[in-house]
Amino acid sequence: SPQVGGGPRASGGTLTATSAARPLVVLEHVDKHFGDLHVLKDVDLTIHAGEVVVLLGPSGAGKSTLCHTVNGLTPIDSGSITIDGRPLPTTDRGLADLRADLGMVFQSFNLFADMTVLENVMYGPVKVRRRPRAEAEEQARHRLARVGMLDHADAMPAQLSGGQQQRVAIARALAMDPKIMLFDEPTSALDPEMISEVLDAMTDLAESGMTMLVVTHEMGFARRAADRIVFMVDGAIVEDTDPETFFTNPRSERAKEFLGKIL
Ligand code: ADP
Ligand code: MG
């Protein structure tokens, strides 16, 4: 079985079958309050390289807050977070570097409205990674093709449907070659007929081996794409298990209740 923590490391740090389970995101005893509200309660969570973790839970459980702590948008009160073995940076520069390594796709469409689709996807590689424009453009076209949006490279975001905008947002995040992709309810604001095109793009990404943390209410996707389901209620992780177990035989009453409402 994979050696995770404590086990002897492969000699010289070379990648071996065992290091497939390399921990990329590690939260230990993370606590967060907003005023009197205890939003994250002693959260322990490890996401390994290549793993797809789907975070489920009722509204207000703290799912978005958890995502925002991972990319440094929300500072924690206590506990620790490490990304690829390094503590979360504290300087502005360090945080900017961290965010460049974490692709984030939110519920609301967050494309630059005054740039074409292609320019949106090229922006990070050119401005942050300092890649030559020609190289960035070629790469951007590949990313757009991957999410089925190459035909719209010259469109402005406002000309696109919500589903198309989210697919461009995914391409834009991928253009930075992120170590991890975070998705916070990426289909919640979409009309029903557009949800599947975005979930399909996310499923492709999951199958490509991308490390992903996904907050969603799409149970079909969760069951199909997740390696693990993490279920949160009131700021605490209540279950952390494989999808089959979670959906067919959840341990906690809270999970049974949640599934009863949502399925
Ligand atoms: P979820 O994403 O699971 O719906 P959130 O992480 O958004 O939950 O919110 C968890 C709790 O923290 C909620 O009660 C929410 O109202 C509260 N909350 C979130 N962000 C803030 C904030 N910036 N200031 C105060 N309270 C907040
Ligand atoms: Mg949320």
The three-state DSSP-derived secondary structure of 91-104 is CHHHHHHHHHHEEE
Tokens 């005054």, residue located: 114
- Give the three-class secondary structure for 254: helix
Residue 203: phi and psi, rounded to 5, are: -65, -45
Mean per-residue pLDDT for 84-103?
Answer: 91
Count of residues in the chain = 263
Nearest atom in ligand 1 to 235's CA: 10
pLDDT at 123 over 80: yes
ipTM: 0.98
Question: What is the Å distance from ligand 2's center to 156 Cα?
Answer: 28
Q: Is the pLDDT of residue 153 over 80?
A: yes
Alpha carbon nearest to ligand 1 atom 6, residue? 62
- DSSP state string for 69-138: HHTTSS--SEEEEEETTEEPP-SHHHHHHHHHHEEEE-SS----TTS-HHHHHHHIIIIIS---HHHHHH
pLDDT tier at 109 (50, 70, 90 boundaries)? confident
Tokens 């289909």 -> residue: 187
Return the closest-CA partner of residue 211 out of 62, 134, 103, 119. Answer: 103
Q: Residue 13, Cβ neighbours under 10 Å: how many?
A: 8
Whether 11 shows a pLDDT value over 90: the answer reads no
Q: Distance (Å, rounded) from C-alpha 256 to C-alpha 254? A: 5
Q: What is the mean pLDDT of residues 22-36?
A: 97
Section 222-232 average pLDDT: 97
Residue 102 beta carbon below 6 angstroms from any ligand 1 atom: no
Lookup result for tokens 């502005």:
92
Query: Mutation test of ligand 1: which of 31, 33, 34, 41 has the most ligand atoms closer than 8 Å to its C-beta?
Result: 34
The position carrying tokens 């409402």 is 261
Q: Is the CB of 73 under 6 A from ligand 1?
A: no
Query: What are the backbone angles phi and psi of residue 31, rounded to the nearest 5°?
Result: -120, 145
In 3D, which of 31, 11, 2 has the Cα closest to residue 235?
31
Instruction: Give me the mean pLDDT over the 154-177 stretch.
Output: 97
Phi first, then psi: give them for residue 98, nearest 5 degrees: -60, -50
